[in-house]
Amino acid sequence: MKKSQVILVLGITLALGLTGCGSNKANHQSKDKAALNAKMANDQSANTDSSSASSDLNRYNYHVPKKETQSKNYVKNGKLTKPHQFSYDRFGTKQQLAQPSISHVSAVVGQHNITYQILNVKVLKNSAKTAAAKQAVAQVLNLPNVPDTYYTFVINYKVTNERPVKIALNGVTSVKTNQGQTLQTSNQLTDSAAGQQIAAGQSRKFVMNGYLYHYANNPTTELSIAFGPAFNTKGKQIANAPDQLLHVKLS
């Protein structure tokens, strides 16, 4: 993938923090970057308003080898639920389930009438088959070097707004592993919730995707997730970040 193509795919970086949120250290992921992350994770939870981003993403459509598609473990739609199942993203990354997918995890944290609930957790073994695949993950997770094989976690979660007004989310501020790794959206982590709005009394689903160092030799078994504050639609902070971390087991 040429540099110019990457720029076309990601588009102009949009600050998702609303006007006035900058002083509150709001995340600055672009909607296009979140969309690219969702494509890599074979997930549709990350919505984007950029039709041009979707159009440019459609330029990449890796042709999965016939031998792979004939495997009993191949899952075309990317919904991996059992060990050894695998799929391919559009850039040419083979994604194999490294840990059984955990659904409806009873991990919930709430404060100020805003609740965060984990829905599904999985660890993927990723094998980059093309230069485009390496370039994509390097761009999304801000990695200087991408090995041929690496591991990531994918977490689907739901945010419920029980407040009487629409809110704008700051999203995940950091994720810490029990192996001493700290991930943030500026490095090794993406989160589709940053800057998204939720109407009063409504819920929305999002996805976060993070890089796991040395997982093959020293596997991470637990994540501690910190969420940021919430704002109104004018950019004024109306709810502090949750006091508690959300702890998630990977195995």
**Which pLDDT does position 13 carry in this prediction?**
25
User: 29 vs 179, 206, 225, CA distance in Å?
Assistant: 26, 14, 18
Distance in angstroms (rounded) separating the CA atoms of residues 40 and 52: 17
When comparing pLDDT for 61 and 65, which is higher? 65
55: containing domain: 3-249
Task: Give the number of domains in the chain.
Answer: 1
- Write out the two tokens for 233: 């639609």
pTM to 2 decimal places: 0.80
Mean pLDDT over all residues of the chain? 81
What's the rounded mean pLDDT across residues 184-197?
Answer: 93
**Which pLDDT does position 34 carry in this prediction?**
55
pLDDT at residue 38 tops 60? no
**Which pLDDT does position 101 carry in this prediction?**
73
What's the rounded mean pLDDT across residues 61-71?
Answer: 95
Could you give the count of Cα atoms lying within 13 Å of 74 in the half-sphere of its Cβ? 12
pLDDT at residue 128 tops 90? yes
Q: Report residue 21's pLDDT band, with 50, 70 and 90 as the boundaries.
A: very low
Distance in angstroms (rounded) separating the CA atoms of residues 192 and 205: 9
Rounded to 10 degrees, the C-alpha dihedral 197/200/206/211 comes to 70
DSSP H or E run through 212: strand 203-212
Distance in angstroms (rounded) separating the CA atoms of residues 12 and 236: 25
